[in-house]
Structure 1
């Protein structure tokens, strides 16, 4: 089996794992992994149907438990952000998009540290139009360019201190809307094509397998340990995408050159 397909299958597994409960930081690794297997534009187009598949399954699991008010002030700005991201997506060269994905991954790792600090210090707040629009714009742009809105949305909704099930349900529903917003633009600029849809279909079962794996890991692996491993892989993957140099090849060359 070609290593490119193994990377793509790994990306699909991570989507399922994320939707099964690890949420917030696992799925972002799917985009750079897929971008190592196929060109970045194809990676984005291949992943979107898989993300929507995972969203629909999660909405069924959490049906009726979400809160609409945080989303009502968030989604209009998000729609505008998706439109802006689509405009940029149709005008960015492959290499520049690959570098952007890499820098977004590196920034995400730093943002996670800030998110943890923010969560500890934040007081309970209520959603407002100013914060909802701002975070919505940022989420729409980052999600369109890299499927990477997780930390932005988390920093918006965490200070509301929603009950765990309500938090998960509201997050799941929010990302369902975000991903559906992206669908027309991806089709318009050719990011989704018959080629990407064929690959998405081949990978769909890996999303479902990832959901089962995520449930198993949730019971047996401490979430903080699992996320640390994911962030370490994400940082190294982002570094490779941003620099355009293979870290594995560099390590191999170093080992060969060593006496």
Structure 2
């Protein structure tokens, strides 16, 4: 178990950001891993955060248990499983900067298309196996490799025109399943050690409180404002990923 006080100095805001993200503000948690990496290695940080995220998943899934979209999950799930498997098998062969650049470009292009190109009223796109599989794969892969699976999920789910609570509930179920599947690869990699699990357990109370706070805020926010924030967060996350990837390459 980690006893270094500095770890908890950076872990507290990181867990709060994860809680807000799980509560519905997908994207704000992009700062969590860099914060934790100031105190410990990124691999250990990911291992400690996985149980924390799973606890938050329980809160989100229970809170939105009646509002989720089955068709969206069905279209994303197969690709997500492929992405997680690819992350486990081939992460060492694909550079992290390359992954960041790819996801960043797609996320930024998606938001710019939405903002700059006219869309017909009520122009929600129908479910699509091709885009669902591609974006599901990208979400599963990036969730495993760089712990940022939100932008690809947002790109698919936002285009489906889901009501606010259905969008959040669907995201909650999707990432709960993704995190559950990630347990076996993390065990195989030897990262879920007793020390890491004990450290994660000390963060559980804060994780639950932060998650409940995010849910409380989302449910009191007008739907239009919520979706504007989600699009902005998706765009900002895309820019951060793109800039970080380009900087690492250069």
Classify 1:180/1:3 alpha carbon distance in 2 versus 1 (closer, same or farther; 3 Å): same
Give, in whole Å, the separation in 2 of the partners of 1:174 and 1:47.
17
Residue 119 of structure 1 contacts residue 158 of structure 1 at CA under 8 Å; is this kept in 2? Answer: no
SS in structure 1 of the partner of residue 34 of structure 2:
helix
Classify 1:216/1:71 alpha carbon distance in 2 versus 1 (closer, same or farther; 3 Å): closer
| Residue 12 of structure 1 pairs with residue 7 of structure 2 | no
Deviations 1:29-73 (A, max 9, x none): 222222222111101111111111111101111112111111112
Classify 1:235/1:76 alpha carbon distance in 2 versus 1 (closer, same or farther; 3 Å): closer
User: Partner of 1:214 in structure 2?
Assistant: 214
Give, in whole Å, the separation in 2 of the partners of 1:137 and 1:109.
15
1:130-145 aligned within 5 A: 130-145=130-145
Give, in whole Å, the separation in 2 of the partners of 1:130 and 1:145.
22
User: Partner of 1:114 in structure 2?
Assistant: 109
Q: Give the C-alpha shift of residue 114 in structure 1.
A: 3.3
User: Partner of 2:163 in structure 1?
Assistant: 163
Residue 115 of structure 1 contacts residue 151 of structure 1 at CA under 8 Å; is this kept in 2? Answer: no
Q: TM-score, normalised by structure 2?
A: 0.78
Gaps of 5+ in 2: none
Give, in whole Å, the separation in 2 of the partners of 1:62 and 1:192.
28
User: Partner of 1:42 in structure 2?
Assistant: 44
Q: TM-score, normalised by structure 1?
A: 0.75
Aligned-residue Cα RMSD (Å) equals 3.4
Classify 1:39/1:128 alpha carbon distance in 2 versus 1 (closer, same or farther; 3 Å): same
| Residue 188 of structure 1 pairs with residue 188 of structure 2 | yes
SS in structure 1 of the partner of residue 203 of structure 2:
helix
Give, in whole Å, the separation in 2 of the partners of 1:171 and 1:225.
16
Q: Give the C-alpha shift of residue 119 in structure 1.
A: 3.4
Residue 52 of structure 1 contacts residue 176 of structure 1 at CA under 8 Å; is this kept in 2? Answer: yes
Give, in whole Å, the separation in 1 of the partners of 2:186 and 2:89.
10
User: Partner of 2:28 in structure 1?
Assistant: 26
Classify 1:6/1:216 alpha carbon distance in 2 versus 1 (closer, same or farther; 3 Å): farther
User: Partner of 1:88 in structure 2?
Assistant: 90
Gaps of 5+ in 1: 244-259
Q: Which runs of 4+ in 1 moved over 3 A?
A: 102-115, 118-123, 212-220, 222-228
User: Partner of 1:256 in structure 2?
Assistant: none
User: Partner of 1:75 in structure 2?
Assistant: 77
How many residue pairs get matched?
Answer: 232
Give, in whole Å, the separation in 1 of the partners of 2:113 and 2:187.
37
Give, in whole Å, the separation in 1 of the partners of 2:185 and 2:71.
26
